Amino acid sequence: MKKLRIGIFGLRRGLDYLDAVQMNGFEVTSVCDADETRLAEAKKRLPDAAVYTDPEAFLNHPTDAVFLANFFHEHAPWAVRFLEKGVHVLSECASNATMAQGVRLVRAAEKSGAVYMLAENYPFMLFNREMKRVYEGGTLGKALYAEGEYNHPFDIYNEDNVRVLRTYTSHWRNWLPRTYYITHSLAPLMYATGAFPVRVSALPVFAPDPADAPVSNRCGDKAAVITTLNSDGSVFKVTGCAAFGAHGNSYRLCCEKGQIENLRGMGDKVMLRYNGWQVPAGLEETNFYLPSPDDMDPAVLEKFGHGGGDYFVMKYFYEAVANGAPVPFNVYFATAMASVAILAHRSILAGGQPFPVPDLRLEADRARYENDELTPFPAGPHDIPAVPCCSDPSYAPSAQQLEKYRGIVGEEMFNK
């Protein structure tokens, strides 16, 4: 296997991928982060890698590829600049935070000779890979309706959570609309069926944090219920990143002849059901089972995050870069999801009004959004974005909540 150089930008998440990176043909030759503690850890684990706190210097370090694991809403500008240098880009979470960024990213990827791939890992969870395998096998018939739920609540009274995940007042998580972190709920459905969203509408689940909670969260929504009409005529219902009920991920694909879904609270087990008059030979009307990973040793997969998803992300990225293999989540796939995320939030602010989802493969659709820089994220500690991040534009944390938050993060971080 030919070794390729890769740089990692953002070490809180980036170092979680280190084993997957090194097992899949990459050698980490440079890293970048503003946090000295994370840089110190990187130096221990990667003694030969160049270490940077300045992103501009990191950009100019010679490399074949870069893994962008920096802040959620700041990937696109760096992806564009690396692509312009001919560097292959693997970008995590969200490809772009504004519609105009998505247009610039698509144009840069098309112009560059380098590979662009979104580092979306949930489609590679065992039950989601099984959903894709069964659907492509044809026994279920055409997809009609699907659900994707990414439910990730956390203890808001846990002071370590506050310090690590919402480090300062202008941190992106304090301003994140519930529709924006959509990739984990939507990508598995798109990957399994091949469908692209063409229209989106959404409604909020407004449930602010308790009055005594130590929060600086500007979004009082606990979830967004997002509905898409898709290119194949099917309909998806997804949540974005939700915080209701118990933690977990669930997916359901309903087709002409039956359905497949993972079972909540049952690990990787799935339920595959057919209509009684359309049961394939060798199967029962209702089938409960644990899928068998035939492409990887289960003991090896257990070492990696997200049910082995992190491993497969790096595997497919390496194969695309080194061997010209197809990219599972290319720039069109990635920006389609980002468009759904952004426009679903606009739907919420418009009372559930549906919005067409642009096809950024088309120049006419790009032209409509090339100057659309609207964002819910602040440019600095005293900035109030033009787009509210909450379904209730007047919502803000109380003085009591902010005082408790200040007591955890400290005065300097509170004013940042």
pLDDT band at 295 (very low <50, low <70, confident <90, very high): low
Residue 378 lies in a domain: no
Please check whether residues 206 and 276 belong to one and the same domain: yes
pTM of the entire predicted model: 0.96
353 and 264 share a domain?
Answer: yes
Indicate if 283 and 209 belong to the same structural domain.
yes
Residue 324 counted as domain residue: no
Asked whether residue 302 carries a pLDDT value surpassing 90, the answer given is no
Closest residue by Cα to residue 96 from 182, 215, 4, 208: 182
Cβ(170)–Cβ(379) below 8 Å: no
pLDDT at 101: 98
- The helices-and-strands tally (H runs, E runs) of the chain is 15, 15
pLDDT digits (tens, 9 = 90+) for 14-59: 999 999 999 999 999 999 999 999 999 999 999 999 999 999 999 9
Listed in sequence order, the residues at least 6 apart from 36 whose beta carbon sits closer than 8 Å to its beta carbon are 53
Task: Examine the domain organization and report whether 285 and 218 are in the same domain.
Answer: yes
For residues 312-330, give the mean pLDDT: 96
Band of residue 306 on the pLDDT scale cut at 50, 70, 90: low
- The count of C-alpha atoms lying within 13 angstroms of the C-alpha of 377, restricted to the half-sphere facing its C-beta, is 16
Task: Check pLDDT > 90 for residue 353.
Answer: yes
CA–CA distances in Å: residue 304 to residues 26, 129, 218, 394: 16, 16, 33, 42
d(CA 198, CA 250): 23
| 93-96: long-range contacts, CB 8 A cutoff, minimum separation 24 | 93/119, 93/181, 93/183, 94/180, 94/181, 94/183, 94/337, 94/338, 94/341, 95/331, 95/334, 95/335, 95/337, 95/338, 96/334, 96/335, 96/338
- pLDDT of 325 above 70: yes
**Domain CATH number, residue 140:** 3.30.360.10
pLDDT given for residue 292 in this prediction: 84
Contacts 24+ apart (CB under 8 A), 57-64: 58/7, 58/9, 58/30, 58/31, 58/32, 59/85, 61/7, 61/29, 61/30, 62/5, 62/29, 63/5, 63/6, 63/7, 63/29, 63/30, 63/87, 64/4, 64/5, 64/6, 64/88, 64/321
Residue 66 lies in a domain: yes
8 A C-beta contact, residue 75 and residue 81: no
Looking at per-residue pLDDT, the higher value among 297 and 237 belongs to 237
pLDDT the model gives residue 6 = 98
- Shared domain for 160 and 263, answered yes or no, is yes
Both 144 and 35 in a single domain? Answer: no
Residue ending a domain, choose from 66, 93, 118: 118
Same domain, residue pair 100 and 154: no
Query: Tell me, what's the pLDDT at 298?
Result: 67
In-domain check, residue 313: no
CATH number, domain at 8? 3.40.50.720
* Domain end position, chosen among 76, 94, 118: 118
What mean pLDDT is reported for the chain? 95
Q: What is the pLDDT of residues 375-397, one digit of tens each?
A: 999 988 888 899 999 999 999 99
Do residues 91 and 137 both lie within one domain? no
241 within some domain: yes
Co-location of 227 and 268 in the same domain: yes
Q: Are residues 136 and 177 in the same domain?
A: yes
Please indicate, yes or no, whether residues 31 and 131 belong to a single structural domain of this protein. no
Query: What's the total number of domains in the chain?
Result: 2
Residue located via tokens 């696109």? 76
Domain carrying residue 269: 122-297+333-369
Asked if the structure places residue 395 within a domain, the reply is no
In a shared domain, residues 95 and 213: no
The rounded distance, in Å, linking the Cα atoms of 246 and 339 is 28
Last residue of a domain, one of 55, 83, 118: 118
Query: pLDDT band at 358, cuts 50/70/90?
Result: very high
CB atoms closer than 10 angstroms to residue 397: 22
pLDDT tens-digit series, residues 148-163: 999 999 899 999 999 9
Q: What is the pLDDT of residue 266?
A: 87
Q: Counting every residue, how long is the chain?
A: 416
If one counts every other C-beta atom within 10 angstroms of the C-beta of residue 248, the result is 14
Q: Within a domain: residue 308?
A: no
